[in-house]
Every structure is written in structure tokens, then in C-alpha cells.
Amino acid sequence: MSSFERMWADLAPVGRSASTGGYRRFAWTTTDATLREWFVGEAQGRGLDVVPDRAGNLWAWSGDPDADGPGLVVGSHLDSVPDGGAFDGPLGVVSAFAALDELRARGSAPRRPLGIACFADEEGARFGVACAGSRLLTGALDPDRARALTDDQGTTMAEALSSAGQDARALGRDDETLRRVGTFLELHVEQGRALVDAAAPVGVASSIWPHGRWRLDLRGRADHAGTTRLADRDDPMLALATAISGARASAERHGALATVGKLRVRPNGVNAIPSEVTAWLDARGPSEDDVRAVVAEVAAAAGTAAAEESWTASTDFDVPLRDRLAAVLGDGTGAPAPVLPTGAGHDAGILSAAGVPTAMLFVRNPTGVSHSPAEHAEPGDCLAGVAALARAIEALS
């Protein structure tokens, strides 16, 4: 059994729902603690020094980036969306350890410090802000705002951090950690089918679309579903339904994507007209203007303001780095590896926006499905990803 297969088998049961087969690995829960312990154990088993940063992201170092200059860091995250797949995040972390194993087995020691990163709270499934760990690290998320974010139970991020043994007061931009990161490289399962079309197991990212999350609060009047005449109702669900249908049409007009995947209904009774509905809109597109136009149209249809919960501007990954990797990871006949954009946000995008030279590798996903238990990558493609990552580390260090 390869080290990749052994690590993959170790992680398979952690946070897996027996009813859906999907993963529920949310930030600062006991499941998250198990994953973080696993990461520390893998790192220590390889003689790496694990250094947490102020936001709770974990950095496992081979070599000393303080003494020997900024290092090359590879890695990803271990948390998931509700009922997410096994690959989004863990593939990058497991591949990072496996690539190090491959390099060591070949006697190929990196000449610069090599770090393996495990970012905290990437999906934002619990507190609503995606890439919270990397945003706190770079200062893109205000620490006071982060501490006050609440989950569905009303637990604040500050409380969740404390109960997970983290120091919530320490949150804030962490220059000491950032100084150690000379280059960041994140391997990730592809969330689309471009590599299927290109008939290639591994590709290189070009850019991330601008994207964000907005909250729509619609108010009406609770009443009896059996005794209130239609004409007498003030039902906010109707305006929301119109807004959601409109979001689809608006996204089509602007060449963008819009999704309402989360709702909160009060009082949430089958026989009660809602008094209040809250919907969360995820919108992404090729340009900021397109995304903003979609959000404005949806808010107008809902008859309410759209409260912005997060925003990430367009990210173009480092061009020389991208071209270098595409050349290094070519098919051997001189053709470079495919280069593709993505609509998904990643910690790599946050680091890139903060000025760290950053690149991403994608591993083929036969169905393109992600954020679902059906998310998949073939074992052979996963190993091709490990080999590509090892080649990339050699080329960059």
C-alpha cells in the first residue's frame, strides 16, 4: 500500500455521515480536532516541525524558513461543506505528504525549506465566511468581525475557537507566518470537467472568478395556513421564490453563476405562513460588474437589500509560475499541461491576493461534481497528482 493509499484510508471514516455518505467536517468541532491531530501526527512522523499561526492554520516545516529564507509551501484544507465529498481539500493535504515521501524515496532533498499547510475553516460551512483561516492570516478578514460570527446554534467563532483550545484573542494578520512563505502551491480536485475534455489527469489554474456571498432578509406576517385567505396574506416566501427564479435568469444574462443553497424559515412550520425568510445568495462571474449586476437584480426582485457577507475579487495566479508549472507538467511530447480558470474560491486565491506568488494544480474529476458525496477522482489520477506535485516541488525548490 502506498503512503497515499494508507493516509486516504485513515481519513475515510472521519466525519462521514452514515445516512448520506457525505462528510461533515466543520471548523473547530471535535471532528475537526481529529483531522488536525491526524495532520500533526503525519507531520511529526516525517520529522517536520508543526507551527500553528495566529488563525489556527497549521504549518509543517522541513527545514527552517526563519534561518534559511522563505520556503515553498504546498497544502490545502481538511474541512468540508455539509455532506461534502472526500476530495475537496484532503486530496491536496494527503498529496503533499505523499509527494514529500516520493521525493525522499528518490533521495531528492529540496534545497529550500519545504512547508506543508493545513488551512483552517476553508469552506466557511459553520460561520459563513469561506477561507476564514487564510483571510485572517493575510488580514483580509477583520478579527473582531470573525470573533463575532455565529453558527446556526448561536455559538460565536470566538467561543468555538476557545472550546477547541485556540486563543481567539490572537486572531489577526500574521506577518511572521507570511514571511516564511516564499511560494504557495495548492493541489485540488477539479470542480468541473475541463480536464476530462482535455484528456489530461492534471492541469494548472489560471485564475479564480470574482465571487461572494450575500444574505437576503425578507419579512412578512406569520399566520394560519388553513384560515388565512390568499388575499389577506403577507407571505415573504413568494417574493423569495420570484427572486430565486430571477437569479437564474439574471445569471444567464450576465454569463455568471447564482445559487441559493441555504434558507432559514421562521417559524418553519408546515401549516404556518412564514413571518421571515432568510436566503443566502452565492454569485460568481467572469467580471466584478457581472456579479454585482446579478446581486442587484436579485435584491430588487426580493424587495430587500443584499447584505454582503464575503467578497473575493478576481484572482490571477502568478503568470511566470503558472507557465513554468504547465511546462514542467507537460505530457512529455512538448505540449504543456492544460491551463484552466475556475469559479471556486481557494486559500491559494487569498494568498495570491496578499502578494504571495501562488499556483494551483487540479486533478481530473470524471463527473465534475463537487461539494457532494459523488465528488470523485480515480486512484490513478490521484497518484498522477502526487507525481506532478513532486515534480513541481523539485522544479521550484
Could you tell me how many residues of this chain bind Zn ion (CB under 5 A)?
Answer: 2
Closest approach, Cβ 84 to Zn ion, in A, equals 9
- Contact between 113 and 61 under an 8 Å Cβ cutoff? The reply is yes
Q: Which three cell numbers stand for residue 219?
A: 419579512
Give the binding range for Zn ion (CB under 5 A) out of 40-48, 86-94, 225-233, 265-273: 86-94
The nearest distance, CB 122 to Zn ion, in angstroms, is 6
Nearer to Zn ion, 78 or 302 (CB): 78
Q: Are 149 and 128 in contact (CB under 8 A)?
A: yes
Is 227 in contact with 318 (CB distance < 8 Å)?
A: no
**Sign of the torsion formed by the C-alpha atoms of 135, 39, 126 and 53:** negative
The residue within the footprint of Zn ion, chosen from 89, 143, 236, 349 (CB under 5 A), is: 89
Distance CA 121, CA 123 (A): 6
Which residue, 88 or 102, has its beta carbon nearer to Zn ion? 88
Q: What letter does residue 335 receive in the DSSP assignment?
A: P
The answer to whether 121 contacts Zn ion (rule: CB under 5 A) is: no
- Rounded to a whole number of angstroms, the minimum distance from the CB of residue 370 to Zn ion is 8
Report the residue number, 89 or 285, with the smaller CB distance to Zn ion.
89
Q: Does 375 bind Zn ion (CB under 5 A)?
A: no
Footprint (CB under 5 A) of Zn ion, residues 25-84: none
Q: Determine, following the binding rule CB under 5 A, whether residue 88 of this chain makes contact with Zn ion.
A: yes
State the greatest distance between any 2 C-alpha atoms of the chain, in Å, as a whole number: 78
Q: Nearest distance from residue 349's CB to Zn ion, in Å?
A: 11
Q: Is 84 exposed, middle or buried (0-12, 13-18, 19+ CB in 10 A)?
A: buried
Burial of 6 (0-12, 13-18, 19+ CB in 10 A): exposed
> Could you give the CA distance from residue 113 to residue 63 in angstroms, rounded to a whole number?
5
User: Measured from the CB of residue 284, what is the shortest distance to Zn ion in angstroms?
Assistant: 15
To Zn ion, the closest distance from the beta carbon of 240 in angstroms equals 29
226: left (phi over 0), alpha (psi -120 to 50) or beta: alpha
The dihedral built from the CA positions of residue 20, 259, 345 and 328, taken in this order, carries a sign that is: positive
Nearer of residues 138 and 370 to Zn ion, judged by Cβ: 370
Within residues 232-261, the interface with Zn ion by CB under 5 A covers: none
For residue 41, the minimal CB distance to Zn ion (Å) is: 22
**Nearer Cβ to Zn ion, position 187 or 386?**
187
Q: Is 89 or 201 the residue whose CB approaches Zn ion more closely?
A: 89
Nearest Cα to 261, choosing from 277, 274, 279?
279
Pick 243 or 363: Cβ nearer Zn ion: 363
Question: Of 389, 387, 310, which Cα lies nearest the Cα of 135?
Answer: 310
Binding site for Zn ion (CB under 5 A): 88-89
